[in-house]
Amino acid sequence: MVILTLNCGSSSAKYQVFDWDHRDVIASGVVERVTQEGGSITHNAKGKPEYKISHECPNHTIAVELIIHTLTDPEVGVIKDMSVIRAVGHRVLHGGNKFTKSVVVTPEILETFREVQDLGPLHNPANIMGIEAAQKVLPNVPHCAIMDTAWHQTMPDTSYMYAVPYEWYTDYAVRRYGFHGTSFLYTAKRASVVLGKKPEDTNVIIAHIGNGASMCCVKNGKCWDTTMGLTPLEGLVMGTRSGDCDPALAFYMMRKADMSVQDIDTALNKKSGLLGITGKYADRRDVTKAMDAGDKRAQLAYNIECYRLRKYIGSYIAAMGQLPDALIFTAGVGEFHAGVRKGVLSGLEHLGIKLDLAKNELARTRNAETCISADDSQIKIFVIPTDEELVMTEDAYALMKGTYDVHTKFTYSFQSPDYVNKGREEGLIRDLEKNPGLRDIIVKIPGTKK
């Protein structure tokens, strides 16, 4: 059985082709800079060299078409045609208060996603386009929606309620929902493995930093709090999203600049964040290049982003009521940007968080879990490459078989200390050839020879 997963984010479309019978990823990749200039696809097929080409993708429908063309290409593809796919798992950002876990997509469910897409203006439209594009190619297989908000359903009311008229909650479902749930689920479960603890005994703070970014306070193996709220706009500074700001700012700008509600919505979601501060750059790679070239606004954007992340670390330690077992970085920026990690952790030694600068520079891989904390750091610092696609694959399979349940009652394959991701194992060999020092910071799993 082959399962395809599609994870259409605000500016990317990740995919994975999983051979369930052999428990192996036979292909994976990402289309980057969707809706932006300079689009490209990076495709990794088992037993073949990495394939990367430039390809403009003005929308997610074209990105999905590019993925399908690549998967079936006679030279770089891995399947003869799409008929071998037996199920598709789709990441869906927001289902409002309608869904608390993953579901099989029906026309009625797809319509519900459309009804609440105002709550996820950068993602829900992309999620819907991804589902519709895949359904056209694969109309006779189950399409499963993996809900990004499901992980956060364990938050206490003190974390998810807003101090607004209570009727807004009862009548309009206004509350904190939280996002990046599949990423937090994977990294939290893997954190338990690398720490040698049971999930219910694990306390960590996770920073998922990509174009979209959020943090999660994980207490006793469950989400206790998270930075994103009713929509993915709240919290950290992101590529094009403002994160936290005074709610009255919207009214002020509407009066001063004669802006409409739609103007404000567009400005805060698509013209703010790093792009808003720099005036040019939403991608951290571009911000870094500009900063290194002396661009003061790029430097300011970097400083603000790092400060916001650092502030939330302190608040989550307070909310947890104890020092966490570990601080975890994940997602594209969290996994690869040593400069952002350094900026975030600067000055946190008094909290028991001490970064090893040399280890931090070495940690650049999607294929291994690494430890970048100093030997005398009271709190461990890990870089755990996320695997949202694997969570989606396992949820989709369990939905097909009728065995799916909430994560506290469900055991994923990657929760085993002996779990091996065959594709990442092969990728690590290539990474070590380029970066031999990486070997010294790879986490040793307790109780195993790995």
- Residues annotated catalytic, as ranges: 148
**Cα–Cα distance, 431 to 197 (Å, whole number):** 28
Which letter, b or e, does each residue of 353-369 get, where b requires 16 or more Cβ atoms within 10 Å of its Cβ? Answer: bbbbeebbbbbbbbbbb
Which amino acid is it at 5? T
* DSSP per position, 355-385: B-HHHHHH---SSS-EE-B-TT-SSEEEE--
**Cα four-point dihedral sign 263, 112, 90, 135:** negative
Give the N- to C-terminal CA distance of the chain in Å, as an integer.
29
Biggest alpha carbon–alpha carbon distance for the chain: 64
Q: For 1-60, give the DSSP string.
A: -EEEEEEE-SSEEEEEEEETTTTEEEEEEEEESTTSSS-EEEEEETTS--EEEE---SSH
Torsion of CA 324, 329, 330, 335, to 10 degrees: -160
Q: Are 392 and 182 in contact (CB under 8 A)?
A: yes
Q: Is the dihedral of CA 292, 295, 297, 298 positive or negative?
A: negative
Instruction: Determine how many CB atoms are found less than 10 A away from the CB of residue 299.
Output: 16
Rounded CA-CA distance 424/109 in Å is 34
The CA distance from 395 to 403, in Å, is 9
Cα–Cα distance for residue pair 244/38, rounded to 1 Å: 29
> Are 310 and 333 spatial neighbours (Cβ–Cβ below 8 Å)?
no
- Please name the residue that has the structure tokens 């008929």: 83
Residue 105 carries which DSSP code? -
**What single DSSP character describes residue 104?**
E
SS (HEC) of 122-148:
CCHHHHHHHHHHHHHHCCCCCEEEEEC
Provide the sign of the torsion angle of the four alpha carbons 191, 196, 198, 202, taken in this order: negative
